[in-house]
Amino acid sequence: MLKFFLVFILGILLSIFLGFPILKLCKKFHLSQTILHYVDKHSGKSGTPTMGGWIFILSTIFSCIFFLTEDYLFSILLLLTMLGYGLLGFLDDFIKIKYHKNEGLKPYQKIIGQGGLALVISLFAYFKIGSELTFFGLSLDLGIFIVPFIIIFYVAVTNAVNLTDGLDGLASGVSATYLIFFGAIIAVMSLGDNYAVISFALAGALIGFILFNCFPAKIFMGDTGSLALGGLIASLAVFTKLELIMPIIGILFVLTALSDVLQVGYYKKTHKRIFKMAPLHHHFEKSGVHENRIVAVYIVITMVCGIATLLGYFAVAGVV
């Protein structure tokens, strides 16, 4: 357990240490975010540096170097997946900055990129990890259908995390909380020390990043960070066969994505809106709730879901 604490602290320290030079570089090269015109409450944030995701991506990788034990293959692949999704997000951010617009890659281009990476991982999972899903001691074998399931899972998770990145500190705060509890479950169930190390390393790196990303944000994570974050969250679930746990602890990722899907679908059909603005956190913001309060409530809800899930696994393990 000591190494989990140490890698968590190292992640925080490295993130703070790398944050200042990366922030300086982003300012020097004018890597700034363009804000959508209809997000009126955030118009003052236009020009804020982006691509800050490199802060916690690099901090996580460097932290893990010192604490990963034997059987590096799966752990390296997991980190490479995070890096792959991060590079896809970097391309999206680069196009936005180069052409001074909010839209980077076309939605279908993003889906192809996300799905392509997920296909590689799903085939690896099928042949090397297995085709089972587990849920509080129960097991379900999907056979070959695990491949399309994992592809859909990756696309859903990466886009859900990406959509959650809409307020200062929201995606980073919720994800850090999620990863602490997910890492604890991995440790309690002995599903692989390396996976727990990676989970705690990223959680720590995100907490360090929040110092730069909390309101008012000095830097945004950009799609570079949100896609990398979603890719690693999905990978941890797939590699530990805990895909069905992710929507419980990450309930707010699910609700964020669901609110966006419902809004778009309902508007196309009726030309009316369910929410004042989607995703859900923007609805609350439009209702007069300050973004700091929204972020705090989202973190608390994630914490409650994490505690409940962890207690469930303690019961399965016979600890309580």
pLDDT digits (tens, 9 = 90+) for 219-247: 999 999 999 999 999 999 999 999 999 99
DSSP for 61-127 reads: HHHHHTT--S-HHHHHHHHHHHHHHHHHHHHHHHHHHHTTSS--S-HHHHHHHHHHHHHHHHHHIII
pLDDT of 318 higher than 70: no
Task: Give me the pLDDT at residue 71, please.
Answer: 77
* Amino acid in the structure at residue 243: E
Residue 316: predicted pLDDT: 78
As a whole number, mean pLDDT of residues 143-151 equals: 97
- Count Cβ atoms below 10 Å from residue 248 Cβ, excluding itself: 17
For residue 30, what pLDDT is reported?
Answer: 87
Q: What pLDDT sits at residue 314?
A: 86
| Cα–Cα dist 34/83, whole Å | 24
> pLDDT at position 108, please?
92
pLDDT, tens digit, 9 for 90 and up, residues 252-270: 999 999 999 999 999 999 9
What integer is the mean pLDDT of 174-187? 97
Residue 10 in tokens: 């190292």
CA separation for the pair 120, 140 (Å, rounded): 22
Question: Helix or strand or coil: residue 140?
Answer: strand
* Distance between CA atoms of residues 277 and 267, nearest Å: 11
Our CA angle for 310, 314, 319, nearest 5°, is 150
pLDDT for 137: 83
- 3-class secondary-structure state, position 272: coil
Residues 177 and 300: their CA atoms lie apart, in Å, by 9
> Rounded to 5 degrees, what are φ and ψ at 103?
-90, 125
**How many residues comprise the chain?**
320
> How sure is the predictor about 1, in pLDDT bands with cuts at 50, 70 and 90?
confident
Average pLDDT value over all residues in the chain: 93
When mean pLDDT is compared across 147-151, 200-204, 311-315, the lowest value belongs to 311-315
Assess whether pLDDT exceeds 60 at residue 36. Answer: no
Higher pLDDT, 156 or 71: 156
Q: How far apart are CA 28 and CA 13, in angstroms?
A: 24
Average pLDDT over residues 190-211: 97
What letter represents residue 197's amino acid?
V
Count of alpha carbons within 13 Å of 140, Cβ hemisphere only?
11
Beta-carbon count within 10 A of 117 CB: 24
Residue 47 confidence class, pLDDT cut points 50, 70, 90: confident
pTM score: 0.95
